[in-house]
Structure 1
């Protein structure tokens, strides 16, 4: 029978979010009900609240989550009740042109649950990134559940479901950072700090963290940055070049996503270097640059969507590295909060006071 649980709902554009009763249906074919144990508060949730993703209110927020499979629907064989999983928003189809070419991390036809969750009065909810995990239980497609080692703490594991994976993947998967490379990361919040951690994990020789907030630069050093540049103090490109013998870095990761930071990334790389855009621009932003500069500098200009990750490949590997003490995921968890604290966590996020607030369920 359906479940009635508490969940965090964004009722309208810009309105404060609040806890409401929601109805989670029994899983249908290919669907799974997951008992959520922890869920991180991501900037994307705030974008949903502000109407920056779609206008399909009301939204059930939350997507950086880990928990235990409770019930599975007909035909589900990949997970079973009692399995510990991280939820992902890239449930690959296996049959689109990207999947058939052996590039499932670009899947063009990802899956979500078919049935909607609703408010108690029957109003259909739109789930953040097809997940909706600021709730005691949530309904997802079985492909959105990635099995990982249950020894990992849920509040740590869930962060791989979005922001931390985006940053790690921008460095390792998209940027292809390898041993001995030089790397610069512009913007050192949660995603940027994860990119720093990814570059360190890949064996980069020099990792330059760039931000305007000294707290974030200090966080980046905790994750492996060898040098820091406060963008308030002068020209960022000159600072990066000054730390690399005048050349620039092999890879620059823009975790801000603004025209000015992208230009810093473009000119801050070495000749034939790589720029990775992982920060998300807004629709009104545009870029104007001399076309000759693109030709004469060579290299690669890439965008990174979800860190170009394949959850079934990357999540278990990164959890294992964490359990081995090689990837300090616990450092991303600034505070543990309850469901009723999400609106206040948005305020702290806006002030830059936290890397991640994490909702933890009893």
Structure 2
């Protein structure tokens, strides 16, 4: 089969046409990959040399079951499209690596290939009308955006909230839509004018550049929830400042969601948390119920991710575009014509 293999130390993936089709073990199924998203996590694995051995990358997967291994009790229809939970609920930290690494494309071969083996209970049926490309996006960017907004941020329609989304990228532009869907007043901040335009189109009331946000903060701008999808020192400080302004509305429940992965050290003091009643949350992957919920939002048209798709054979060009910041929304790779 065709597969894009990561080799430690190489910035480019090796495109192979002779990669063996995997055999599902006990409790596993063999999935014919319909689409697989390309993610900044893939770049972290490649450029950070985080995986010590050759591996087929790709953890944002949708596809069709073609074979079940032993001990799989459920019967799967070959015409049913499934999204694959990237992190299994029973994933474990081992060998010094976090549970995050017990996932396709990290702990074992992933979806940058024609076929992938996953656990049978990682599969979530995709509602009618949701394409394989969107189902793949839901499996990582969608589920995380939903969890960060609804469960971590408390933006679930139970009360009126104001939300600031910093970084209108692959997750952030979905967070804008999810928060707006649940009745929040949404503000967005991004360095790119085109990203700010996307935020306004998708439901943001206003969209600021970083410099504009700084001026707004000096004027007393405040929100209930700040979601930092960039998570660098400057954005973290801006998010804290937006929430500190809530102090005079005590007993407000300001929440800062650190939603981006960064190598920078972010600092706060007890004055940030205790004196300002500030909750700082660093959530990870969502649950099965979160993935089902975001797929339903896709199916209803309440959330429409910005997605571009490319053949899997163009994976290295796509990853270079991600490195260079030339991607708006999300990119999905589709195998089949290699």
TM-score bin, normalised by smaller chain = 0.7 to 0.9
Q: How does 1:22-37 map to 2 (within 5 A)?
A: 22-37=19-34
Seen in structure 2, the aligned counterparts of structure 1 residues 287 and 66 have a Cα distance that, compared at 3 Å, is closer
Give the superposition deviation at 1:139. Answer: 0.9
Match for 2:205 among 226, 230, 247? 226
Match for 2:106 among 128, 143, 163? 128
Partner SS, residue 118 of structure 2? strand
Distance in 2 between the 1:264 and 1:75 partners?
51
Q: Once the two structures are superposed, what CA deviation does each residue of 1:235-258 show, in whole Å capped at 9, x if it has no partner?
A: x3442574xxx3510000010121
Partner SS, residue 23 of structure 1? coil
Q: Does residue 276 of the first structure (1) align with residue 273 of the second (2)? A: no
User: Residue 45 of structure 2 aligns with which residue?
Assistant: 48
RMSD of Structure 2 on Structure 1 (CA): 2.4
Q: Which runs of 5+ in 1 are unaligned?
A: 97-107, 114-125
User: Residue 169 of structure 1 aligns with which residue?
Assistant: 147
User: Residue 318 of structure 2 aligns with which residue?
Assistant: 345
Match for 1:198 among 175, 178, 200? 178
Q: Which runs of 5+ in 2 are unaligned?
A: 93-97, 248-252
Report the TM-score when normalising by structure 2. 0.86
Match for 2:163 among 178, 183, 186? 183
Match for 1:253 among 212, 217, 227? 227
Report the TM-score when normalising by structure 1. 0.81
Q: How does 1:1-362 map to 2 (within 5 A)?
A: 5-20=1-16, 21-52=18-49, 54-78=50-74, 80-82=76-78, 83-93=80-90, 127-128=105-106, 130=108, 132-179=110-157, 180-204=160-184, 206-231=185-210, 233-234=211-212, 236-240=213-217, 242=219, 246=220, 248-269=222-243, 270-271=246-247, 272-282=253-263, 285-306=264-285, 309-311=286-288, 313-329=289-305, 332-333=306-307, 335-354=308-327, 355-362=329-336
Is the contact made by 1:40 and 1:62 (CA closer than 8 Å) also made in structure 2? Answer: yes
Distance in 2 between the 1:240 and 1:225 partners?
18
Distance in 1 between the 2:165 and 2:301 partners?
23
Distance in 1 between the 2:108 and 2:294 partners?
23
Is the contact made by 2:35 and 2:333 (CA closer than 8 Å) also made in structure 1? Answer: yes
How many positions carry a matched residue from both structures? 319
Give the superposition deviation at 1:18. Answer: 2.7
Seen in structure 2, the aligned counterparts of structure 1 residues 130 and 310 have a Cα distance that, compared at 3 Å, is farther
Partner SS, residue 177 of structure 2? helix
